[in-house]
Chain A
Amino acid sequence: MPIDGGIAFRCAGLRKTYRSGETEVHALRSVDLSVRQGESLVLLGPSGSGKSTMLNIIGGLDRPTEGTLHYQDIELTGLSDHDLTRFRRRHIGFIFQFYNLIPSLTAEENVNLVTDIAEAPMPAIEALDLVGLADRRHHYPAQLSGGEQQRVAVARAIAKQPAVLLCDEPTGALDSATGVRVLQTLDRANRELGTTLLIITHNAGIAAMADRVLHFLDGQISQEVVNQTRIRPDELTW
């Protein structure tokens, strides 16, 4: 297992409260968590349980209302907007359920969006090759299937060789065969490159590929399961 033992994220007493009209929504209620570098985590839980909020805060897209969050020795909770952007730029790769590709750019150019600004990226074509789409690099998103689009999104996320990959329902819009392909790529990045991997899913079947599974309920971690053995994505069933 390529976990090097160092701590990637450490959070304590993390709370997030949204104001929605006149009511307060407690998205996170005091979450404590440590994630080791190179670890792979799956976050499970019903809608509104706080897992997306958790991922957004870890990725520097959102800020907690209370509590502290460190990435290695950087305290993210105290960073300015500009510094949070730099943090994302240097360390984080995101993958979303709906791909979020830029429709006016080809597959390769979508990957270039990241390689243009990253410090030590791999060539875009190499990233596309990793997801098996090198031959479709000149295609626009509208010319690709949903699965292919998501693989481009994965290529875009891994091209900068991020220390952390955050995936929010990466297979939610895909059929199972395509989903497995995407998960294989993520798994490879985690195993071979040592990328810390956090995946949100509704699909409990995916949990078996992770080192650790966190169950969210009502803004808290209700259960934590450590997998003694990780199953390869192609062996998963759902």
Chain B
Amino acid sequence: MVAALDRKLLRNLWHMRGQVLAIALVLAAAAATFVLSTGVHSSLTATRAAYYDRNGFADVFAGMTRAPRSVVARVAAIPGAQRAQGSIIQYATLDMPGRKDPVRALLNSIREDGRDSINRVTLREGRLPEEGKPGEVIVDEAFASANDMALGDRVEALIYGVQQELTVVGIGLAPNYIYALAPGELIPDNRRFGVFWMGQKALEAATDRTDAINTLSVVLQRGASEPDVIRQIDTILAPYGGTGAYGRKDHLSHAFLDNELMQLEAMTKVIPPVFLLVAVFLVYIVLGRMIRIERTQIGLLKAFGYSDVAVGWHYLKFALVVAAIGCLLGLAAGVWMGRAMTGLYAEYYRFPFLAYRISSEAFLGAVALSLGTAALGAIGGMYRAVRLNPAVAMAPPPPPIYRAGFVSKIGHAGGFSAVGNMIVRHIARWPGRSALTVLGVALSAGLLFSTMQFMDSSRTMIDSFFLRGQAQDLTVTFVEPRNEDVIYALRQIPGVQRVEPTRGLAVRLVNGVRSKRTAVESTMAGSQLVSHIDASGKKLELPPGGLMLSRQLADELDLKAGDVVRVELLGGRQTRTGLRVASIVDEFIGSRAYANERTLELLARDASPVGSALLKVDPADRQAIIARLKDMPLLLGISERDASVRLFESMIEDNLFTMLFFYITFASVIAVGVVYNSARILFAERAHELATLRVLGYYHSEVAIVLAGELALLIVAAILPGCLIGYSLAQLMTEMFSSDLFRLPFAPSRASYGWSIVIVLAAAIGTVLLVVRRVTRLDMVAVLKARD
């Protein structure tokens, strides 16, 4: 048996279904984004943790030129180290049948007996390489599927200057290559770069490292001090050309995933609150209006003996039911979007399993947020309902009182028509509600703008990093630093127009307690292929002495131009030098340091060997040049700038377009929700006046202007605050989304402002038209019979 008051509640909900749905959709958007981001976050975190645990992902990593395998036992014996594993990693160039583009593999050694305890490979298919069968390899799953490789396939590889045939015996993946990048790249290119695992003995033989290793991984004991262990590893590895041990936070794959998790967390903090704020406003104005209309009924209920609490609870329940509807819709949409987004992640991050799962915290959080928001919005209305004196309530409410004021003076001065005056005075009579409408539409435009700004941001990044910063067509990296001869050799290849050497040194930069592992890179003086572009678009020259730091790195180390930073060379002579920070460049990608060739020579205390070379080539000879390069011994890899740009652009399209689609929908939901509710309330309040105008002989279109005019003014008034909110929100979001790896430029384009305004206006105007159509259905007789 449903109580009479509950039956009234159900009828109210049904009667106001349009408004109820509009609020529920805004709440749904909040719940959806919350569930989406927290769900994807927890799915990724849980999956990563399980994967790391199951496959023994290391805590500390170290590289060296070459060390005897016996060093592993010494490292394992360091207090705090639980176990250590030494292996060989080696880049190889692959000659894929029918392919002209450069394809690279990173060969990792794996124990043939399967007794690796760290960074273990999960086999999807096949088996481990067998001892005594040198060409057998396991290929990583993403590379295999991108290149249609199957068990038994063979591929020619140039390893350490020697051509060798490899046979695929297994397909698998490992936790240290969740995000697998070729050197110098930012986005995984599964077609052109793959991780391979080769039997330990076979790789030792292929790289002339019998019983030797060039990389080390360590799992720490619980509670061990990572910096202490790193310090001791560095000491042990110093004689072997150790390039400095580092923890997970500097591990590329781990750091990229961390970056992604951080962005998801930022999204949770910024986006749902915008929706929740709008939902509070909507509940507040809709319930406020409902209580004004039901004034007499409230009086009657109280006169019949319903308590204040019962009446208050009745209206709170209305808000809670709306919240429950919104929450359910939001949960469903959030799970659906979460699945789509997880699918996208699976394309870039290689997990053995990755399923979107909504945690109970995310679920309960969404429910609590929706209900809490609705309750917050309902407080004002409830308070009024509770406070209403039954005797006063049963008398009709006093009509709205208008008095001559500022707005009417404007109307006189502007020569407004009577209808024009009706519009502006109504806005001024309900300033709070008008302001909430403006704010709601502005938030919608702002949210959309802040999302669209990401497109601009990414384009600026591509433009600055690839198009303006790099003029080379190809980058050639060598297995080991070479002397100048290699530059001359490259220049001799027909079609090569320009060759510039570059060099990088692995260093640790230290400023007080802050330190950062990075590379100091140098290009030749007067380089025509590399430019350092400032945030303002200005080209910066390398300083004559000292370092140029990227803004990211300078901020991380708390350095400014003129400060001195300690530079510890990792590997080589392991020098420690103080260098002045000569300038800071506002770059967007990576924490990087630059110096001229002379400064690098001083640091390394050697003449300037070449680590890689940048090539500008004649497009007509491009393929022939790549073919020649692939045959050069001791070549680590060739990367093509255009391919990197394409990859970057396709990632932006994949991710941002999906995101944009969601956010255009969300922003429209806010605009529609706010405008629809305002319009319905306005219509209800002015029905009497509109009917009067119809009686006086005003046509439908003329009457509609009263309604549409007020809403149009409010919507137009929202454009400027919308841009301001968007500007601040976008700035906040680029700030929050920036990490060690990327710093998103804040570079909004006029088109983004334009599009966000156009989309929000379209949603708002569509909604206004929907409500204004009701004017044609106004029953003049019925309205005029009732006294307001």
Interface residues of A (CB under 8 A from B): 56, 59, 61-62, 81-82, 85-86, 88-90, 92, 94, 96, 98, 100, 102-106, 109-110, 112-114, 116-118, 138, 140-143, 156
Q: Which residue of B lies closest to A104 (CB)?
A: B425
CB neighbours of A96 from chain B (8 A) = 784
CB neighbours of A56 from chain B (8 A) = 781
**Which of B154-162, B233-241, B696-704 has 4 or more CB atoms under 8 Å from chain A?**
B696-704
Q: Is B787 an interface residue (CB 8 A)?
A: yes
Question: What's the Cα separation between A156 and B110 when bound, in Å?
Answer: 96
CB distance from B402 to the nearest CB of A (A): 5
Q: Is B290 an interface residue (CB 8 A)?
A: no
- 14 A-B pairs besides A90-B697, A110-B418 with CB distance below 8 A are A85-B699, A88-B696, A89-B697, A92-B697, A98-B787, A98-B788, A102-B422, A104-B400, A104-B402, A104-B421, A104-B422, A105-B422, A118-B697, A141-B399
**Which of B296-304, B685-693, B747-755 has 4 or more CB atoms under 8 Å from chain A?**
B685-693
Partner pick for A94 among B400, B696, B776, CB 8 A cutoff: B696
Q: Is B4 an interface residue (CB 8 A)?
A: no
Contact, CB under 8 Å: B418 / A100: no
Contact, CB under 8 Å: B426 / A113: no
Question: What's the Cα separation between A210 and B429 when bound, in Å?
Answer: 43
CB distance from B772 to the nearest CB of A (A): 16
The interface residues of chain B, by DSSP majority, are classed as helix
Partner pick for A100 among B417, B426, B692, CB 8 A cutoff: B692
CB neighbours of B700 from chain A (8 A) = 81-82, 85
Q: Which residue of A lies closest to B398 (CB)?
A: A142
Contact, CB under 8 Å: B780 / A140: no
CB distance from B784 to the nearest CB of A (A): 6
Q: Which residue of B lies closest to A157 (CB)?
A: B696
Contact, CB under 8 Å: B399 / A103: yes
CB neighbours of B400 from chain A (8 A) = 103-104, 142
Q: Is B695 an interface residue (CB 8 A)?
A: yes
CB distance from A181 to the nearest CB of B (A): 22
Partner pick for B402 among A62, A112, A118, A142, CB 8 A cutoff: A142
CB distance from A55 to the nearest CB of B (A): 10
Question: What's the Cα separation between A114 and B694 when bound, in Å?
Answer: 11
CB neighbours of A156 from chain B (8 A) = 696
Contact, CB under 8 Å: A85 / B697: yes
CB neighbours of A82 from chain B (8 A) = 699-700
CB distance from A159 to the nearest CB of B (A): 10
CB distance from A64 to the nearest CB of B (A): 13
Check A88/B697 contact, CB under 8 A, given A61-B781, A102-B422, A104-B425: yes
List, sorted by A's number, 11 A–B pairs whose CB atoms are closer than 8 Å.
A85-B697, A86-B697, A98-B784, A104-B402, A105-B402, A105-B421, A105-B422, A110-B418, A114-B696, A114-B697, A140-B401
Partner pick for A102 among B401, B408, B692, B784, CB 8 A cutoff: B692
Contact, CB under 8 Å: A100 / B688: yes
CB neighbours of A88 from chain B (8 A) = 695-697
Among B419, B697, B698, B780, find the residue whose CB has the most chain A CB atoms closer than 10 A.
Answer: B697
CB neighbours of A140 from chain B (8 A) = 401-404
Among B401, B696, B698, find the residue whose CB has the most chain A CB atoms closer than 10 A.
Answer: B696
Contact, CB under 8 Å: B696 / A113: yes
CB neighbours of B694 from chain A (8 A) = 85
CB neighbours of A102 from chain B (8 A) = 418, 422, 689, 692
Check A62/B784 contact, CB under 8 A, given A85-B697, A113-B693, A140-B403: no
Check A117/B403 contact, CB under 8 A, given A102-B689, A105-B418: no
Check A116/B429 contact, CB under 8 A, given A56-B781, A85-B699, A88-B697: no
Check A94/B695 contact, CB under 8 A, given A62-B781, A103-B400: yes
CB neighbours of B692 from chain A (8 A) = 100, 102
Question: What's the Cα separation between A104 and B781 when bound, in Å?
Answer: 22
> Lowest 6 CB-CB distances: which A-B pairs, in order?
A89-B697, A104-B425, A88-B697, A142-B401, A112-B418, A113-B418
Q: Which residue of B lies closest to A100 (CB)?
A: B692
Q: Which residue of A lies closest to B425 (CB)?
A: A104
Q: Which residue of B lies closest to A139 (CB)?
A: B404
Interface code B405-445, partner A: CB below 8 Å = 1, 0 otherwise? 00010000000011101100110010000000000000000
Contact, CB under 8 Å: B404 / A138: yes
Question: What's the Cα separation between A62 and B691 when bound, in Å?
Answer: 13
Partner pick for B698 among A61, A85, A98, A112, CB 8 A cutoff: A85
Contact, CB under 8 Å: A104 / B429: yes
Question: What's the Cα separation between A105 and B419 when bound, in Å?
Answer: 9
Question: What's the Cα separation between A112 and B693 when bound, in Å?
Answer: 12
Among A81, A105, A142, A143, find the residue whose CB has the most chain B CB atoms closer than 10 A.
Answer: A105
Question: What's the Cα separation between A152 and B415 when bound, in Å?
Answer: 22
Question: What's the Cα separation between A17 and B776 when bound, in Å?
Answer: 22
Q: Which residue of B lies closest to A162 (CB)?
A: B697
Partner pick for B418 among A61, A98, A109, CB 8 A cutoff: A109
CB distance from B786 to the nearest CB of A (A): 9
Question: What's the Cα separation between A100 and B417 when bound, in Å?
Answer: 19
Q: Which residue of B lies closest to A57 (CB)?
A: B781
CB neighbours of A104 from chain B (8 A) = 400, 402, 421-422, 425-426, 429
CB distance from B178 to the nearest CB of A (A): 65
Q: Which residue of A lies closest to B786 (CB)?
A: A98
CB neighbours of A103 from chain B (8 A) = 399-402, 689
Question: What's the Cα separation between A95 and B245 when bound, in Å?
Answer: 92
Question: What's the Cα separation between A100 and B692 when bound, in Å?
Answer: 7
Question: What's the Cα separation between A116 and B421 when bound, in Å?
Answer: 13
CB neighbours of B696 from chain A (8 A) = 88-89, 94, 113-114, 117, 156
CB neighbours of A112 from chain B (8 A) = 417-418
Question: What's the Cα separation between A176 and B656 when bound, in Å?
Answer: 74
Q: Which residue of B lies closest to A90 (CB)?
A: B697
Question: What's the Cα separation between A62 and B778 when bound, in Å?
Answer: 12
CB neighbours of B402 from chain A (8 A) = 103-105, 140-142
Question: What's the Cα separation between A142 and B776 when bound, in Å?
Answer: 29
Check A61/B780 contact, CB under 8 A, given A94-B695, A112-B418, A142-B399: yes
CB neighbours of B689 from chain A (8 A) = 102-103
Question: What's the Cα separation between A82 and B110 when bound, in Å?
Answer: 86
Question: What's the Cα separation between A56 and B402 when bound, in Å?
Answer: 30
CB distance from B406 to the nearest CB of A (A): 14
Within 8 A of A (CB), among B185-244: none
Question: What's the Cα separation between A109 and B689 when bound, in Å?
Answer: 14
CB neighbours of A81 from chain B (8 A) = 700, 776
